[in-house]
Amino acid sequence: MDGSTVKTAVRLREIMAEVLELDPLQIDDSFARDGVPSWDSLGHLRLITALEEAFGIRFTMKEVGELDRFSKLHERLSR
């Protein structure tokens, strides 16, 4: 990982922890939506909105449906 993707990961972890009301330490590289109560459909929308606001990007509808784990979000945001 180069410096910018590390920075992205830190930022992403921070936002996910804040929106989903979790300890950032819980959000490791394998962290996924399955079984996280606060990452329900509303939590997902809030997360998507927060990431779009923070990174100044727009996800497509298809992406919103697919981005269900930390690694995928990180990969998409590092592009």
Any contact of residue 66 with other proteins (CB under 8 A)? no
Of the residues 12, 15, 27, 73, which one makes contact with other proteins according to CB under 8 A: 15
| 3-class DSSP string for the chain | CCHHHHHHHHHHHHHHHHHCCCCHHHCCCCCECCCCCCCCHHHHHHHHHHHHHHHCCCCCHHHHHHCCEHHHHHHHHHC
Of the residues 31, 38, 64, 76, which one makes contact with other proteins according to CB under 8 A: 64
Answer whether 7's CB lies under 8 Å from 25's CB. Answer: no
Nearer to other proteins, 32 or 54 (CB): 54
Q: How far is the CB of 11 from other proteins (least distance, A)?
A: 13
Residues lying near other proteins in the complex (CB under 8 A) are found at: 15, 18-19, 21, 41-42, 45-46, 49-50, 53-54, 58-61, 64-65
